[in-house]
Amino acid sequence: MIDKYPYKHRDLNWLSFNERVLQEAEDEKNPLYERLKFLAIFSSNLDEYFRVRVSRLRQIKKIDKKIRKRLALKPNKQVKEILNRVKDQQERFGHIFYRELIPELATNKIYLVSEKKFDFNQSAYATEFFIRKVLPHIEAKTFLPSQEESVFLDNNSLYFVVTFKESKTLGIVNLPTEEIGRFVCFPSENEKVYITFIDDIIKANIGQLFDEEEISDCYEIKLSRDAELYIEDEFEGVLAEKIKKSLDRRKDGQATRLLYDTKMPKAVKKDLRYALGLGKVDMMPGGKYHNFSDFFSFPNPKNNPTLSHPELKTIKHSAFESGKNYFDIIRKEDQMVHFPYMSFDYVQNFINQAASDPYVTQIQISLYRVADESALTTALLNALDNGKKLTVFVEAKARFDEENNLKWGKKFEEKGANVFYSYPKIKVHSKILLVKRKENDKTIKYGYIGTGNFNAKTSKIYCDHGLFTANSRITKDLSQVFKILSGKMIFPKPKQLLISPFNTRSTFENLIEVEIENAKNGKPSGIKAKLNSLEDQKIINKLYDASQSGVQIDLLVRGFSCLVPGLDGISENITITSILDRFLEHGRIYEFKSAEDPILYMGSADWMTRNLDNRIEVLTPILSSKLKNELQTILNIQLNDNVKARYQDAEETNEYMMRNEGEKAIRSQYEIIKYLSEIHAD
């Protein structure tokens, strides 16, 4: 075996994932508004990346240089490479928007107009709109850039920096997009549609804000701040309370990127950098407009259906549609649902039935990202009204959802639920539900284990899977998980489930070792896996070992991967593809050939160190031969995608999978729709 294995840097490889998002924005086969949404996704992804990952590299820079050297940490080099790659991607982004999408909008008689191209009527409307709608939310002030840190900018908010002809002061004006939206449609008497940014309406009227100064120009900026919550002394006090108090840190955290208009003069950039207390590395050139994530809500006043994907007609689950009592259906045999191809209502209906069923005594659920006011949360509150014992575990450290999660935790507590929050150093990422029901003087447990959150909204755009089961081998282990979450058990002894951080790593390592031994002994071997990210070096080393032993490994990794595939003598038997399409691939499926009897797991954990060692995760084996075949078929369809799959090679070229002349085109998300429609046909 090789003494030292190669690994890709996760933060650099993540940029390859975001490049795949750009590829979708470039793809002319995608409807126009879908291409705009991919630009919005790219922008949103990049904002979070700078707020979390780049800020982490900046924190590493504060570590003593000798320690960094000993640990082989090179944050300066990595940040420099990140900035170079992002700069190239931003230029590509600008080309897509201005050279491709703006002209295509015009082809559809939709015109995005700037303040310099307002006609007389548009100028009058913009002024009236500014006075009536915008001005009440505007804060305009001046500051002296010679005074260090003389101005404060809110995280990820838009501002104009204003320069004056006769003064060395600078002006700062907020763009109140949260209060009034980002886009404004002008009245039109013909079939043409004219839309402008709120930015341009403010720019056209900015003279009203500084009537004592003559304005020379203004430039849009946006500051991203560190989003991590550095909670010290986690083992003291109540963690949830500490998180509540720490949420405001995001508003004034360390700056990680100032995005500015490339037309901004060098002297103004220097003044601004000094006034904000920034370094050169924090400065990132951009276009005239920022926060393209607002294009998620770009108006379609013509309601042209050809500009977006047609609405997905959800597939009806044959078993759940054939009867009203979910308990009878699940007790008869395990059932599986697949989102977004099926409705999340099946999960919500089950909880609704449990909330009102006279024989149900208890409901236990773990919530990672709580939806704001949903049928699910209403059902849980109803369960309390109906006298059910409700235990809710709320993850207080779910990034960017902490505040909403804590709010719901408080609501459940006030209604009488037993609510538990995060453990120090541990996140609860599992998506599990357990219902206890009295049947013939026995307590029967019904479980649900999913790959996605209990969130109806995200279930419409995330590809996930969920298993309903009354199999006592599974529900007995699931009951142990909730004992851990409620503090009644420290070390579980599961016989079927993989529960991180207890037996998930060791089980995966043993399963890979079995494939290695099978390959060495001439038995059938092979590993197939679909996951979001691949980062854990111990698992990667095992996969490298397996490849060198002749095990064929086919991986489908949506996001970043630290494994380098296709290297002679190291990973020549490992292939990695990535699918990026209409829906976000989010499910985790692991298949081990295990000679002639494949073992299949599904659940919440990726092959990342945090998922294996630092989170409560749950993966379930698929014990039903019918459902095992169903999930294997879905996995194989995705591994054979030759339309939206990109081959992940050592060079990170992101090339689309090639198909031979005459070969059938397989776009996996649509092939899965066909497959599920067939097996759930009436």
Q: What CATH number corresponds to the domain at position 178? A: 3.30.1840.10
Task: Establish whether 159 is an annotated binding residue.
Answer: no
Judgement on whether residues 273 and 322 belong to the same structural domain of the protein: no
Judgement on whether residues 469 and 563 belong to the same structural domain of the protein: no
Task: Establish whether 588 is an annotated binding residue.
Answer: no
| Mean pLDDT along residues 75-88 | 84
Q: What is the pLDDT of residue 232?
A: 38
Type of residue numbered 602: M
Question: Residue 383: pLDDT above 50?
Answer: yes
Q: How confident is the model at residue 148 (pLDDT cuts 50, 70, 90)?
A: low
Question: Residue 679: pLDDT above 70?
Answer: yes
| 148: in domain | yes
> What CATH number has the domain bearing residue 83?
1.20.58.310
Which one is predicted more confidently, 316 or 235? Answer: 316
Question: Residue 160: pLDDT above 90?
Answer: yes
Judgement on whether residues 284 and 348 belong to the same structural domain of the protein: no
Cβ atoms of residues 383 and 363 within 8 Å: yes
Judgement on whether residues 252 and 400 belong to the same structural domain of the protein: no
| 309: in domain | no
| 313: in domain | no
Rounded to whole angstroms, how far apart are CA atoms 478 and 196?
53
> What would the pLDDT profile of 417-449 be if each residue is shown by its tens digit?
998 876 666 678 899 999 999 999 999 999 999
Task: Establish whether 586 is an annotated binding residue.
Answer: yes
> What would the pLDDT profile of 567-606 be if each residue is shown by its tens digit?
999 999 999 999 999 999 999 999 999 878 899 999 999 9
Task: Establish whether 405 is an annotated binding residue.
Answer: no
Judgement on whether residues 86 and 126 belong to the same structural domain of the protein: no
> What CATH number has the domain bearing residue 537?
3.30.870.10
| 125: in domain | yes
Q: What is the pLDDT of residue 68?
A: 44
The owner of tokens 């006034």 is 275
Q: What is the pLDDT of residue 599?
A: 97
Q: What is the DSSP string of 223-275?
A: EEE--------TTSS-HHHHHHHHTTHHHHPPEEEEEEETTS-HHHHHHHHHH
Catalytic center residues: 429
The owner of tokens 């630009």 is 39
| 15: in domain | yes
Task: Establish whether 647 is an annotated binding residue.
Answer: no
Q: What is the pLDDT of residue 2?
A: 61
Q: How confident is the model at residue 345 (pLDDT cuts 50, 70, 90)?
A: very high
Last residue of a domain, one of 464, 492, 520: 492
Q: What is the pLDDT of residue 234?
A: 38
| 310: in domain | no
Question: Residue 76: pLDDT above 90?
Answer: no
Q: How confident is the model at residue 489 (pLDDT cuts 50, 70, 90)?
A: confident
Judgement on whether residues 383 and 482 belong to the same structural domain of the protein: yes
Report the range out of 80-89, 150-159, 312-321, 420-429 with the highest average pLDDT: 312-321
Question: Residue 280: pLDDT above 90?
Answer: no
Task: Establish whether 462 is an annotated binding residue.
Answer: yes
Judgement on whether residues 65 and 82 belong to the same structural domain of the protein: yes
Judgement on whether residues 86 and 122 belong to the same structural domain of the protein: no
Nearest to 297 by CA among 201, 181, 400: 181
Cβ atoms of residues 630 and 461 within 8 Å: no
Judgement on whether residues 357 and 505 belong to the same structural domain of the protein: no
| 459: in domain | yes
Q: What is the pLDDT of residue 49?
A: 87
Type of residue numbered 97: F
Domain limits at 137? 114-300
Our count of domains for the chain comes to: 4
Beta bridge partners of 171: 142, 162
| Mean pLDDT along residues 529-537 | 97
Judgement on whether residues 195 and 100 belong to the same structural domain of the protein: no
Cβ atoms of residues 599 and 589 within 8 Å: no
Judgement on whether residues 249 and 329 belong to the same structural domain of the protein: no
> What would the pLDDT profile of 215-234 be if each residue is shown by its tens digit?
999 999 998 877 554 433 33
Two tokens at 97?
């928007």
- Which burial class, exposed, middle or buried, applies to 60 when counting CB atoms under 10 A from its CB (0-12, 13-18, 19+)? middle
Last residue of a domain, one of 108, 141, 172: 108
Last residue of a domain, one of 492, 525, 559: 492
Judgement on whether residues 171 and 37 belong to the same structural domain of the protein: no
| 453: in domain | yes
Q: What is the pLDDT of residue 62?
A: 52
Q: Could you tell me what percent of the chain has a pLDDT over 70?
A: 89
Q: What is the pLDDT of residue 222?
A: 93
